[in-house]
Chain A
Amino acid sequence: MNRAFAGVLLSLAFCASAAAQDVKKEIERYREMVSEGSPAELFELEGETLWKKAQGPQQVSLEKCDLGLGPGILKGAYAALPRYFKDADRVMDLETRLLHCMMTLQGRSREEATRRVFGNADRPSEMESLSAYVAAQSRGMKMVPGESHPKERAAYELGRALYFRRAGSWDFACTSCHGEEGKRIRLQELPMLIKPENARSVVASWPAYRISTSGFITMQWRMNNCYQQMRMPEPAFGSDATVALIHFITVTGKGEVYRGPGNKR
């Protein structure tokens, strides 16, 4: 994939001196290639290495981590998240569960394991690569988050309440930007996530590689960055509040076949 990607970039550069018509054609070709292959694949590969790497005081890998379908079962695990986990007695999304495994299996402290959960273009985070690796193994499977356990229903209701809750210096709720259809911030289109038709494509495509920042973005990052822009204090990584919002959005947009991790603008 990355060879093809580099090839297209090279031919794009070459075409800079060619006729405008050719450049346009090359851009179309580039778009097509980008939709086929994504740098997300590099994160998946790195994630596989990290999944199998012995780490922490226990010096064990995450290969026995139970993401809901049994220890070490990755196929379809992401498509069934968030869900209730009996061993933790709470609802967890992918990243929260990965953190749980780092703490319980590898013996790492929450502080150490969450010190750098969101990376950047130069240095992606462990959590981002692991998310890419696990999510990729639900490709082609229907998104069916847990909805039967009372704590799953409670998480949905809490997420819904948070979605509408206005607070902070600028009086923002999620609905301030994601409350009406067809709205934009600058040129960025905003999905109205309380509507299944709009939530489905979001749920089916996150996490993803973001071209504009050359980094891999996850749902926990999305919650964190939205609250930053809402002028609110910071939600803790993997907290009930963030999991509840992710669960609410996932349940609203359930049922579509997972096609990520791919590219976003």
Chain B
Amino acid sequence: MKLLSLLLLFPLFPVLAQPTPKDVEQVMQRDFHARGQAGMDRVVQDGLQRVCTEAHDQPPAELAKRLEADQMKTIAFPQGSLIGDWKSGERIAQNGRGMQWTDAPGAANGGSCYNCHQLSPKEISFGTIGPSLAGFGAKRGSGPDAQRYVYGKIYNAKAYNACSQMPRLGYSGTLTAQQIKDLVALLLDPGSPVNQ
């Protein structure tokens, strides 16, 4: 009896103190304010963000598959070759600006790629949150399938891994189709420093 009441009561305290997702959103609606281009709409989660938050980025496999299929539908693949200009791609990969309240709304955004990935081996200041992409094209080739995969992954990384930490750079309106093609070139073009 004593044991039973302990079992019943003990876990209740931490559970009671935990705010619901709705509570947390209300706190943010009250405590945050729009600044520059960062409007309050960004506080509201979409379905994918909600699931990933609640699952601490590890949703059940079935649910992850459904989310990925939904995200795949958001990708608009351009016709023809997806390989742009790797030199422009390198500049986009280096540029960490864009979408912040301090960034001018009309200006071209960067992709922040080097923040998390190694790309050109010449750049020694690279992050490690994402995998190294050095030699990516040299290993995978630059055919239509590789182009489509890289374009899609940059456009909406969540179509391939539901709770990936990588931003949905095309879907979010951060990068244009041409910018993504330039990044595809940076990764796949045999002349790109990434593949040297």
Contact = CB atoms under 8 A, between A and B. Distances in A.
Interface of A: 150, 153-154, 156-158, 161-162, 164-173, 175-177, 179-180, 182-187, 190, 227-229, 231-236, 239-242, 244
29 contacts: A153-B17, A157-B19, A161-B21, A162-B24, A165-B24, A166-B53, A167-B28, A169-B99, A169-B173, A171-B49, A171-B165, A171-B168, A176-B129, A184-B129, A187-B125, A190-B129, A228-B38, A228-B100, A231-B38, A231-B42, A232-B43, A233-B35, A233-B38, A233-B101, A234-B32, A234-B34, A235-B31, A236-B31, A244-B27
Given A162-B24, A228-B101, A234-B38, A242 B45 contact: no
A233 B42 contact: yes
Q: Ordered nearest first, which 7 A-B pairs have the shortest CB separation?
A: A239-B31, A170-B167, A241-B31, A234-B35, A168-B42, A231-B99, A166-B49
Contact of A233 (B32, B116, B172): B32
Interface in B28-53: 28, 30-35, 38-40, 42-45, 48-49, 52-53
B172 to A, nearest CB: 5
B18 interface: yes
A161 B19 CA distance: 7
B34 A233 contact: yes
Interface string B87-101: 000000000000111
Nearest to A242: B31
Interface bracket on B:
35 or more
Contacts of A236: 31-33
Chain A CB count within 10 A is highest, among B30, B40, B42, for B42
Contact of B42 (A153, A179, A232): A232
Contacts of A176: 129, 165
B38 A232 contact: yes
A233 B129 contact: no
Contacts of B49: 166-167, 171
Contacts of B32: 227, 232-236, 239, 241
Given A158-B19, A169-B173, 15 more contacts: A153-B17, A161-B21, A167-B45, A171-B165, A179-B57, A185-B129, A186-B126, A227-B32, A228-B101, A233-B39, A234-B34, A234-B101, A236-B33, A241-B32, A244-B27
Given A162-B24, A166-B45, A233-B40, A186 B115 contact: yes
Contacts of A156: 17
B102 interface: yes
Contacts of A233: 32-35, 38-40, 42-43, 101
A123 to B, nearest CB: 18
A187 to B, nearest CB: 5
Nearest to A232: B42
Contacts of B27: 158, 162, 240-241, 244
Interface in B9-29: 14, 17-19, 21, 23-24, 27-28
